[in-house]
Chain A
Amino acid sequence: NAGVTQTPKFQVLKTGQSMTLQCAQDMNHNSMYWYRQDPGMGLRLIYYSASEGTTDKGEVPNGYNVSRLNKREFSLRLESAAPSQTSVYFCATEQGAFYSNQPQHFGDGTRLSIL
């Protein structure tokens, strides 16, 4: 029972390169989220998907795109990586039932460095 799986775990990119971070869940949750974690700033929401077929911007969406491929998968794409996007990225899921706000379940994170 994997829960929330993120790939890759580590990645080094050069400025201007593109890449996609993958997230898959086997919890049958409706809602999925992408956060970034930077020192001293906690976790900040990049994009989220409240249900299959919908995506919305979070607090820091610039430079990113997302795709909710199906109920299980939610990917985050950096089209042209910048050093400011060096961070640890976390994918999370939540049950998504109305007025529920259950605890979110997090993947192990992707540590991304952009040179």
Chain B
Amino acid sequence: AQKVTQAQTEISVVEKEDVTLDCVYETRDTTYYLFWYKQPPSGELVFLIRRNSFDEQNEISGRYSWNFQKSTSSFNFTITASQVVDSAVYFCALSEAGSSNTGKLIFGQGTTLQVKP
């Protein structure tokens, strides 16, 4: 069965602190994709990153970085030097490639990040 778990419901940090959002997934497929989306207070969903199961290289984009470890089925997201504008709900999601390949996303419960000035 497919499942994504974001165990941290809410995280509160002070501006400039580093923060890591955890994501653990379950799948039987060998080919799958992992995503992170941001949902700011305005409500829209903003795509952040897509990773396939064969690429375990960590990725850095500005203050954002992602650590993908197949051995622990985790795809964690770190924000360095957090800013107030990073306050949002962050979702981790899984999409299995497989034979059906419908592209549907399985979302985690989301982590609400509050960055205080």
Interface residues of A (CB under 8 A from B): 31, 33, 35, 40-45, 48, 50, 56, 58, 88, 90, 92, 94, 96, 98-106, 108-109
Contact = CB atoms under 8 A, between A and B. Distances in A.
A56 to B, nearest CB: 7
Interface string B78-117: 0000000000000100010100011111111110000000
B107 A100 contact: no
Contact of A103 (B6, B35, B43, B110): B35
A42 B43 contact: no
Contacts of A45: 104-106
B31 interface: yes
B64 interface: no
A45 B106 CA distance: 8
A5 to B, nearest CB: 12
B30 to A, nearest CB: 12
Nearest to A47: B104
Given A99-B31, A99-B97, A101-B97, A109 B105 contact: no
Contacts of B50: 101-103
Given A44-B107, A45-B104, A106-B45, 20 more contacts: A33-B103, A35-B105, A35-B107, A40-B110, A41-B109, A42-B4, A42-B6, A42-B109, A43-B91, A43-B105, A43-B107, A50-B103, A56-B102, A100-B103, A101-B32, A101-B101, A103-B35, A103-B47, A106-B44, A109-B44
Given A31-B103, A101-B95, A108 B43 contact: yes
Contact of A40 (B45, B95, B103, B109): B109
Contacts of A99: 31, 97, 101
A48 B6 CA distance: 24
B43 A33 contact: no
Contacts of B106: 45
Interface string B25-48: 000000111010000000111010
Q: Which of B95, B101, B105, B110 has the most CB of A within 10 A?
A: B105
A88 B103 contact: no
A52 B9 CA distance: 37
Most buried by A among B31, B35, B104: B104
